[in-house]
Amino acid sequence: RRSNIKPANTLQVDYRSMAHTARSKDEKREHFDSPEELDRKVAMLADWVKHSKHMIAFTGAGISTSAGIPDFRSGMDTCLDTGPGVWELRAKKKERDAKKHSVTDKMKAVPTPTHMMLVKLCQEGILKCLVSQNCDGLHRKSGIPTTALLELHGNTNIEMCMKCKKKYLRDYSLKNIRPRSHLTGAVCDDTKCGGKLRKNIVNFGESLPEAILDSGYEHAEKADLCLAMGSSLTVTPAAEIPENAGSSGRLVVVNLQTTPLDDIAKLRIFAKCDDVSTLLMKKLGLTIPPFKLRRKLILSATPTSKSKVCNTTSVLAEGADMEGHPFSFMKEVMSMFQGALNNCNGTWLTSQFACAASIISML
């Protein structure tokens, strides 16, 4: 269900003006529930989770701060190790203090306990859909099924072909060929296509993908429980998803700062996301799985020529995530048995194993 006053396909805040939307002192103030209050609230949340029929989650930058990725709106005196938010620093015209604050490169960051809690809830069939405003790629890296994930702002680790629409996961930082352009300068891995590749992200001020947004609304309509974590819930139309869910079901907001949706929330928890996640799973009797990066190495052989003297076969080595989506994690492929390539009987099989050995040594 979409609001009558907020267009569904556009964001209300322009990227260039974000630094001038600094929040008031009261809005930036961080609040903390007492240990007793936190335990009581999480116990209530656990009961709701157990009895939910269609639970969804909505996540923002706050769930990635413990991974070393700064958020956007934390104040100058925040308790977070990552320090002030990006927009707060920009509004104050200040730089982040590298000696005081701990920040991790997005490509090296690993999913937090909150990310992995959501994976477990999905594996248990409890969490039906995860809607995220984050584009840091940690949800995809955590291993949550793509069928259950809606990345509203895209993913900085994905390139998409503008011609065939194929998507490629990358293990390196993607660069724009010019400011405000999504083109990376690369072309589609499919030689038959050759289309231009672009970063699969949505910047502030740009339209959100209609299909993804509509799916989020549909899940909000079905939801009897929506767990919103680490989001200021101020950017629309994304924030309409938990708002809509809260109008017909239970909305639970976990954030250190107050949000515009606090008044409609059935439960308001003031604590760090990882603390809530850890306590919630304990009360549910579930274990947060450790993060393990899993990738596939796919080898395929194709005969290229056949003669009385020799048969030749080309071996293709491809990287993929566990769902089979293309993922680049190999810099080069070298055959360890080049001399054996002159033998004609079953040579392609030997070179296939050699290729695998050489690739695996480079992971």
- Over residues 5-34, the pLDDT tens digits come to 333 333 333 333 344 455 788 888 999 999
Of 184, 87, 201, residue with least CA distance to 137: 201
DSSP string, 299-318: EEEEEEEE-SS-EEEEEEEE
Give dist(CA 332, CA 255) in Å, integer: 44
Low-confidence ranges of the chain (pLDDT < 50): 1-20, 338-363
Provide the pLDDT for residue 54.
Answer: 98
| Chain centroid to CA 183 | 20
Task: With beta carbons less than 8 A apart as the criterion, state whether 328 and 159 touch.
Answer: no
Q: What 3-state class would DSSP assign to 228?
A: strand
DSSP state of 275: H
Q: In what order do the strands lie in the sheet with 327-328?
A: 183-187, 196-201, 154-161, 167-170, 327-328
Give dist(CA 285, CA 54) in Å, integer: 20
Provide the pLDDT for residue 325.
Answer: 85
Provide the pLDDT for residue 19.
Answer: 40
Q: Is 35 exposed, middle or buried (0-12, 13-18, 19+ CB in 10 A)?
A: exposed
Provide the pLDDT for residue 296.
Answer: 87
**Other residues' Cβ atoms within 10 Å of the Cβ of residue 293:** 13
| Run of H or E residues at 349 | helix 347-360
Length of the chain: 363
Give dist(CA 90, CA 72) in Å, integer: 10
Give dist(CA 331, CA 250) in Å, integer: 48
- Over residues 302-321, the pLDDT tens digits come to 887 777 667 777 877 888 88
51 is catalytic: no
Give dist(CA 282, CA 236) in Å, integer: 34
Q: Are strands 225-229 and 250-254 parallel, antiparallel or unpaired?
A: parallel
CA contacts within 13 A on the Cβ side of 220: 25
| Burial track 43-69 (b if 16+ CB lie within 10 A, e otherwise) | ebbbebbeebebbbbbbbbbbbbbbbb
Q: What beta strand segments (E) does the chain contain?
A: 55-59, 127-132, 149-151, 154-161, 167-170, 183-187, 196-201, 225-229, 250-254, 267-269, 296-306, 311-320, 327-328
Provide the pLDDT for residue 303.
Answer: 83
Q: Indicate the pTM of the whole model.
A: 0.84
Q: Which of 54, 139, 153, 182 is catalytic?
A: 153
Beta bridge partners of 314: 302
DSSP state of 50: H
DSSP string, 194-226: -PEEEEEE--TTSPPPHHHHHHHHHHHHH-SEE
